[in-house]
Amino acid sequence: MKPILWIVIPCYNEEEVLPVTAGLFKDELRLLMEKGKVSGESRVLFVNDGSRDATWDLILKLASENEEFEGVTLSRNRGHQNAVYAGLMEAKERADIAISIDCDGQDDISAMEAMVDAYAEGCDIVYGVRSARKDDTFFKRTSAHAFYGLMNKMGAEVVYDHADYRLVSKRVLEAFSDYREVNLFLRGMFPLIGFKSTSVYYERHERMAGKSHYPLSKMFHLAVDGITSLSVKPLHIISFLGALTALFGLGCIVWVVVRWMMGGTVAGWPSTLCAICLLGGIQLLSIGVLGEYVGKIYMETKQRPRYCLSERTYAEGGKVDGGRVLSSRPKDDSENAGSED
């Protein structure tokens, strides 16, 4: 039996690139159908992440003109990870497999066929992995490898050069829906689920249109979220630094006492200032790390939904895990629908 595939595509202010890449997604889906690798009921699902431009209007237009396209819109911007999660939870109720991919056209769409083939061979998770970073700047390439290396050293299991381009089976999504944390770092969470997995390698291209919505500052915050969401090693490091600093201070006290007993003198303000700066820096850094964890605990205890859906281009059906559906709109009325945000 041919599996039903849903391609989940998060969108945030993508009115420039969406008209360019939508056709490519449709062509790839139709190709997979023609080759008999996926069911004719397969769909492309656009997830509007509270865009402020005409992205949702474009999605409504695409869905009204093409039966392969569907769309949902979040009531407000919730971030890339929550948008992907929302789309995957929608796909869980309607598909056998789901592939998440960004809409900018940078990830090689043709790699989907290899992903579906790997699923047919028994893999429940297929990671899309970049084969090279030759087009990246030296800084971006170095910082990316440092990020993946740091994540693994911190105890977070991540796949090198893999972002959020992956195929997952229905049973993986069902298992994933039991993960209730609010702070999502998907590329580090799917390896925790287990099941048989493999990787498909592809070349990443330049963005086809528009501009990136993921600057260096967001990449930094994503790295911090990934580490603090999946590992407690930073807390262990703080404990180690505290013990090391205490031993250093004890050694200094012994040295000062010995020097005094031998009639020597101890240097004044320079050594004192260095010690104050060192200890003050360690303390502030430690407080900051602890604050990150306390903040995450605070957000988790609220148990707020990760997202709220305001509209769909298809009739509502099935349970939505982790979010709350406020309203839905049948596909026949989608031409007259507007963005809620």
| pLDDT above 80 for 153 | no
pLDDT given at position 341 = 37
183 and 313, same domain (yes or no):
yes
Q: How many CB atoms lie within 10 A of CB 74?
A: 28
pLDDT given at position 103 = 86
Q: Which letter does DSSP use for residue 307 in this model? A: E
| pLDDT above 50 for 90 | yes
Query: Is 37 contained in some domain?
Result: yes
pLDDT given at position 159 = 74
pLDDT given at position 324 = 47
- Sheet-wide strand order for 197-202: 197-202, 125-130, 162-169, 97-100, 5-11, 43-48, 69-74, 307-312, 323-325
Query: Is 261 contained in some domain?
Result: yes
Out of 4-18, 40-54, 148-162, least confident range? 148-162
- Containing 112, the helix (H) or strand (E) segment is helix 111-120
Out of 32-36, 116-120, 175-179, 235-239, least confident range? 235-239
258 and 159, same domain (yes or no):
no
* pLDDT confidence band for 314 (50 / 70 / 90): confident
Q: How many CB atoms lie within 10 A of CB 299?
A: 13
pLDDT given at position 202 = 84
172 and 183, same domain (yes or no):
yes
Six-digit token pair at 317?
């059906």
Q: Which residues contact 1 (CB under 8 A, 6 or more apart)?
A: none
Out of 35-44, 108-117, 192-201, 262-271, least confident range? 262-271
Which of 147-166 are b and which e, b meaning 16 or more Cβ less than 10 Å from the residue's Cβ?
A: bbeebeebebebbebbbbbb
292 and 329, same domain (yes or no):
no
23 and 68, same domain (yes or no):
yes
93 and 219, same domain (yes or no):
yes
190 and 288, same domain (yes or no):
no
pLDDT given at position 104 = 83
pLDDT given at position 311 = 84
Most confident of 174-188, 206-220, 309-323: 174-188
Query: Is 189 contained in some domain?
Result: yes
282 and 309, same domain (yes or no):
no
| pLDDT above 50 for 319 | no
95 and 150, same domain (yes or no):
yes
Q: Which domain holds residue 30?
A: 5-230+305-336
Mean pLDDT of the chain, nearest integer = 77
* pLDDT confidence band for 131 (50 / 70 / 90): confident
Query: Is 10 contained in some domain?
Result: yes
pLDDT given at position 191 = 84
99 and 50, same domain (yes or no):
yes
Query: Is 251 contained in some domain?
Result: yes
Indicate the pTM of the whole model: 0.71
217 and 298, same domain (yes or no):
no
Backbone angles phi, psi at 157, to 5 degrees: -80, 110
* pLDDT confidence band for 16 (50 / 70 / 90): confident
Query: Is 83 contained in some domain?
Result: yes
User: Under a CB-based contact definition with an 8 Å cutoff, are residues 309 and 48 in contact?
Assistant: no
How many residues are listed for the chain in this entry?
Answer: 341
pLDDT digits (tens, 9 = 90+) for 91-127: 888 899 999 998 888 888 988 999 999 999 999 999 9
pLDDT given at position 287 = 80
Backbone angles phi, psi at 248, to 5 degrees: -65, -45
| pLDDT above 70 for 48 | yes
Instruction: Name the more confident of 264 and 28.
Output: 28
User: Under a CB-based contact definition with an 8 Å cutoff, are residues 27 and 65 in contact?
Assistant: no
Give the chain's domain count: 2
**Closest-CA residue to 12 (of 62, 65, 59):** 59
CATH number at residue 316: 3.90.550.10
Out of 161-175, 191-205, 302-316, least confident range? 302-316
Block residue for tokens 């090689």: 108
Average pLDDT in the 67-87 region?
A: 89
Query: Is 341 contained in some domain?
Result: no
Six-digit token pair at 157?
């299991």
Block residue for tokens 């740091």: 150
76 and 124, same domain (yes or no):
yes
DSSP line for 184-215: --HHHHHHHH-S-EEEEEE-----SSS--S--
* pLDDT confidence band for 15 (50 / 70 / 90): confident
| pLDDT above 90 for 30 | yes
